[in-house]
Structure 1
Amino acid sequence: MYPDSPNTPDRGATPSDAAPAPAPVTAAPARSASEALIEQFAQDYLKDRRSARRWNLLIRLGWLAAFAALVWGLLTQNASTSAPSGPHTALVELRGEIAPDTVASAEVMLSGLKSAFEDVGARAVVIRINSPGGSPVQAGIIHDEIRRLKSLHDKQVYVVVEESCASGAYYVAAAADAIYVDKASIVGSIGVLMDGFGFTGLMDKLGVERRLITAGENKGMLDPYSPLSERQRALAQAMIDQIHQQFIDVVRKGRGEKLKETPETFSGLFWNGEEAVKLGLADGLGNLDYVAREVVKAENIIDYTPHENVAERLAKRFGASVGFGAVRALRLESLQLR
């Protein structure tokens, strides 16, 4: 008898001890077309939902960044206007047309002027002007406020003219203690105008009838589609003559004995800076640095001009000012100091 080899099965083993036979493999049932379509739809839906969530997250982050920029702008603006400062020359810019809702409006200018005068470190206030003029109302408000702040804070005010200081801008400049210009600056134009158009002749040729119903005989005065009567012309002329006289009085009071009047001084003419000095409309030639260094004796210049931050520009773009340009474009009659 030989011993059982390792490959020889144990003769004493029972059939129950044998390894179980593998179960037969059955093929997975094929999916129907409708099931495949539903699965594809579900995958696409989940993909769209994930994409929408990402966009919503990006939008929320954008709004959060805009809010943070608004808060930062307000904080930095308040810090810059309220921070204590040493001796310096306070600067306020007047640029462009003097009119409501512009950077040269009375609202904007008064904000900068008050901050400049109230700073104890400001040795004097300089208004740097580059403007052709504009609204007599806005110019008058700025002029009167300069005079009030001068008296309240006992500080000198100087005007430095760049390219232009004409009409309403000169109305503002007349409140200063001294006016400095460049020899080529445009200065003067002390006058008032009211401009518009009349279409009555054209309407007659085209056979167009103007139907204007008013309560009050002068309610339709200066209507461009109606004839201008001599009486209405005289009324309008009297009104602008009165405003012109107000302008003349302001210049005479502001310039005093320095003004060398001629028949053309208040005729609406304008002169270059060199001639303006000779006529007493300006005091000398000089730019901002010269006035700060030689006149105010404070070379450090701090700008108090209000500037819009990013949030304010966005609010104006998408807010109530959307129709502002259209409204201004429809104005056919305008009263201007220019």
Structure 2
Amino acid sequence: MVDQWKAPESGDKSEPSDQQNAKSWKLLEKTLLASVQEQRRARRWGIFFKLLTFAYLFGLLVLFTPILDMDKSASRSSHHTALVELRGVIADQESASADNLVKGLREAFKDPNTKAVVLRINSPGGSPVQSGYVYDEIRRLRAEYPAIKLYAVIADLGASGAYYIASAADEIYADKASLVGSIGVTAAGYGFVGTMEKLGVERRLYTAGEHKTFLDPFSPQKPEETAFWQGVLNTTHQQFIAMVKQGRGDRLKDKEHPELFSGLVWTGEQAKALGLVDGLGSAGYVAREVVGEKELVDFTVQESPFDRFSKRIGASMAERLAMWMGLQGPSLR
């Protein structure tokens, strides 16, 4: 018996394939929408918990700040040696800015229980302007409070602008292995003229003023402009030397060692022999053995994380780019 093929009748109830596809797409669409909604809910909850955590931490900060201030005030209720930290690059908008250092020094000097002030230094230097501000303020405070001495204590590094500031102190101490000195001025940049020529880049620059572009890294150097800029650096260097000599006086052995102002650095032990420092010792040693008041109370201005973040945002990208491209002023580093 042979099976015969039979075509489906016109009344067959089988569903067309396009309707099946439409149902499948609707089901997939519902699934995707449900997934997106779930992700949105999860994101909202995530944001909520992050805000809740931030509010909690902020509340703790507000709660404990008065307690910390009370502890600090309590520690200042007896005679002490005041401590101010100079740490990092000396520059505006940095922790070692003139504003922060001057504020800390003023608070330290005016405290009625301060027996002496220790300026603890660990810095490669920085802005000659910021360093000059602090130097002048130290000299002013010493004159206003003649009974209170200021001792600069160099830790790992007290170079260039940092030593500029240290030289205003009554005495300078360092560790035997500290690096001290670097009495010089530098200004660095880059030149991209050859690179532009190789890349086939044409420089189009429009200015008013014959020497307006003399620090432009994309333009060739001119001998007269290079000589002018060297004169600026030399003038700044002589100002640096004059302030160091004013602060250190006859203790400097610069006549026997003219290389003192060449930009070289020395160990603390060598610096003592050259008259750059007066003795060897730490901040604790100075407080205990020199001042005679071993308790150190910190008057360093402490910036909050929010303040530091705000300052970073405040420094424009154009300024950073200009410094990187070569438009950077003299630096005591």
TM above 0.5, yes or no, is: yes
Kept in 2, the 8 Å contact 1:143–1:172? The answer is yes
Q: How does 1:287-326 map to 2 (within 5 A)?
A: 287-312=282-307, 320=314
- Counterpart AA for 1:157: L
Q: Deviations over 1:248-294 (max 9, x none)?
A: 00010000011111221111111111110001000011111110011
Kept in 2, the 8 Å contact 1:81–1:115? The answer is no
| TM-score, scaled to structure 1 | 0.77
In structure 2, runs of 5+ residues without a counterpart are 1-33
Deviates more, 1:198-207 or 1:216-225: 198-207
**Alpha-carbon deviation of 1:223?**
0.6
Q: 2:203 aligns with which of 205, 210, 215?
A: 210
Kept in 1, the 8 Å contact 2:171–2:278? The answer is yes
Residues 1:65 and 2:77 are matched in the alignment: no
Q: Provide the aligned C-alpha RMSD in A.
A: 3.0
* In structure 2, C-alpha distance between the alignment counterparts of 1:193 and 1:167, rounded to whole Å: 10
- Counterpart AA for 1:280: G
SS of the residue corresponding to residue 264 of structure 1 reads helix
Partner residue, 2:102: 110
Partner residue, 2:145: 153
Q: 2:239 aligns with which of 236, 246, 269?
A: 246
* In structure 1, C-alpha distance between the alignment counterparts of 2:42 and 2:183, rounded to whole Å: 65
* In structure 2, C-alpha distance between the alignment counterparts of 1:313 and 1:222, rounded to whole Å: 30
Q: Deviations over 1:6-47 (max 9, x none)?
A: xxxxxxxxxxxxxxxxxxxxxxxxxxxxxxxxxxxxxx9xxx
1:321–1:273 CA distance, 2 compared to 1 (3 A): same
1:227–1:120 CA distance, 2 compared to 1 (3 A): same
Partner residue, 1:13: none
Give the aligned length: 295
**Alpha-carbon deviation of 1:153?**
1.9
Partner residue, 2:326: 332
SS of the residue corresponding to residue 219 of structure 1 reads coil
Residues 1:144 and 2:136 are matched in the alignment: yes
**Alpha-carbon deviation of 1:66?**
4.5
Partner residue, 1:171: 164
1:321–1:220 CA distance, 2 compared to 1 (3 A): closer
Residues 1:196 and 2:178 are matched in the alignment: no
1:295–1:210 CA distance, 2 compared to 1 (3 A): same
Residues 1:75 and 2:66 are matched in the alignment: yes
| TM-score, scaled to structure 2 | 0.79
Kept in 1, the 8 Å contact 2:189–2:327? The answer is yes
Kept in 1, the 8 Å contact 2:217–2:325? The answer is no
